[in-house]
Structure 1
Amino acid sequence: LRCCLPLVFLLLMQKVSLLEIEGFVGDTVILPCLSSGKELPNKVTVFWRFRDSGTVYDIFDSRASLDEQDVPFRGRVDSFPDEWTKGNFSIKLSRLKKTDGGMYTCFIPGVNIQTTIYLIVNGTSEHLTRHQYFSNKQKRAFTEQNAVT
């Protein structure tokens, strides 16, 4: 019986995947959660969690439910309801903060699918750095022009 227990556990847990996503402070990332190849119930439930306990986004009976969403995520998380019928329960996290870094879990209990994502949030993106560079260059040119006149 002991030798069969790990096998039973593996059979119960249909699919578990681990992904690493990298983003930059201020940017937007997509955290994927797909149930491809699995037939979904008519009314699906999906739980997105941060560090196992923080509520990021919930779908109950095929409807977004943000009542329990943790404060740090309010107004920054979107999903794609038109994609739910295709098994795509990915979320978009906007205006990244350093504190957003860590483990995210998407769990679809009706089909026993769990996706775990480790989000790495770096300081600033190259895009922001370039923007700041040109912004500073324009300020410097404006200041020099005013000094001449």
Structure 2
Amino acid sequence: MVYVAPPSNDRYEPRSQSSMSNGMKNIISIIIILAAAIALIIGFGISGHVSEASTMDAALIKTLSSQGRYFITVTTLTSAGNIGEDGILSCTFEPDIKLSDIVIQWLKEGVMGLVHEFKEGKDDLSDQDEMFRGRTAVFADQVIVGNASLRLKNVQLADAGTYKCYIITSKGKGNANLEYKTGAFSIPEVNVNYNASSESLRCEAPRWFPQPTVVWASQVDQGANFSEVSNTSFELNSENVTMKVVSVLYNVTINNTYSCMIENNIAKATGDIKVTDSEIKRRSHLQLLNSKASLCVSSFFAITWIFLPLSLYLMPK
């Protein structure tokens, strides 16, 4: 409280309460006027947007009514395609029981159109790129359990590249990239060649690309270098891309197991043969190289429902 200094020897008193009351009344009046103005502005906003809120699509309101962070996980597996055969581009996602809400899009880097699209429970190939016409399919009966893998028919060398598996469901959306390699690979067959001078082994594989390396190994002579007693040739096949591989190993001995190993940057194949006095046993297997999973989690945020009315009032007309 402020006091006015009185003259000497005179009594002093505080400022009158009546003047203070008048000041408070003025402040209250201003507050009331401002409150009325704010109420009027809000009233205009409500009248302009209530009709819009009443006609909003039910599905949109449901999405906006959700709370928290939404995401789905999409996983792809880097793989290789065998030229001239069918291949699989692997992609999985979190299952959704609402098949009609699931959208699957396959895209390829450097390609204008889509590789494949599946939505509303069926294929939609209206935007498919010409190079994939009649060559793609998803496993429609497995989409609902989270399988978005793509079957690619008659794999071509040009199909190699970076692909994207893009998924939308009622739970959210996500995507993951896939590196797809193309080449040719086949399992070798090893047989014994008999002649008057010595026995030899012939390893033959019908289709390889790019050109592989061929290495012989022996169970008895581990670590031995057989390059000086073997001969390998490559013969171009009729399509002028893949090649037939033939390798011959000389001076073999009985009661031993030999392995013919063929490898390029895509696959490794081995043909084993065991030769004894009484029998010949064979075994072979093929392994794809550099196959690995790619995991991506994409997310989006939903708006808590209590903010919905305020957002409508602030929307411009």
TM-score normalised per structure 1 = 0.68
Aligned-residue sequence identity (percent) comes to 23
Match of 1:23 in 2: 81
Matched, 1:48 2:106: yes
Q: For the Cα contact (< 8 Å) 1:16–1:116, is it kept in 2?
A: no
Q: Which amino acid aligns with 2:103?
A: T
Match of 1:108 in 2: 167
From 135, 157, 181, the counterpart of 1:98: 157
Q: Partner of 1:85: helix, strand, or coil?
A: helix
Match of 2:179 in 1: 118
Q: 1:17 to 1:86 in 2, by over 3 A?
A: closer
Q: Which stretch of structure 1 is more off in the superposition, 40-49 or 74-83? A: 40-49
Higher relative contact order (CA 8 A, sep 6+): 1
- Paired with 2:174 and 2:107, the residues of 1 have a C-alpha distance of 14
Deviations 1:96-115 (A, max 9, x none): 11110001111112232313
Q: For the Cα contact (< 8 Å) 2:81–2:88, is it kept in 1?
A: no
- Paired with 2:89 and 2:144, the residues of 1 have a C-alpha distance of 18
- Structure 2 unpaired stretches of 5+: 1-68, 188-204, 208-236, 238-243, 245-317
Q: 1:33 to 1:16 in 2, by over 3 A?
A: closer
From 132, 136, 139, the counterpart of 1:73: 132
Q: 1:42 to 1:25 in 2, by over 3 A?
A: closer
- Paired with 1:71 and 1:94, the residues of 2 have a C-alpha distance of 14
- Paired with 1:17 and 1:85, the residues of 2 have a C-alpha distance of 16
Q: For the Cα contact (< 8 Å) 2:87–2:153, is it kept in 1?
A: yes
Q: Which amino acid aligns with 1:98?
A: L
TM-score normalised per structure 2 = 0.34
Q: Aligned pairs, how many? A: 122
Q: 1:42 to 1:17 in 2, by over 3 A?
A: closer
Q: Partner of 2:180: helix, strand, or coil?
A: strand
Q: Partner of 1:23: helix, strand, or coil?
A: strand
Report the structure, 1 or 2, having the larger strand content.
Answer: 2
Q: Cα distance, 1:19 vs. partner?
A: 3.0
Larger radius of gyration: 2
Q: Partner of 2:116: helix, strand, or coil?
A: strand
Deviations 1:92-133 (A, max 9, x none): 0011111100011111122323132110011x3326x52766
Deviations 1:38-69 (A, max 9, x none): 43534111111111744111012121101111
What's the RMSD between the two structures over aligned residues? 2.7
- Paired with 2:113 and 2:164, the residues of 1 have a C-alpha distance of 10
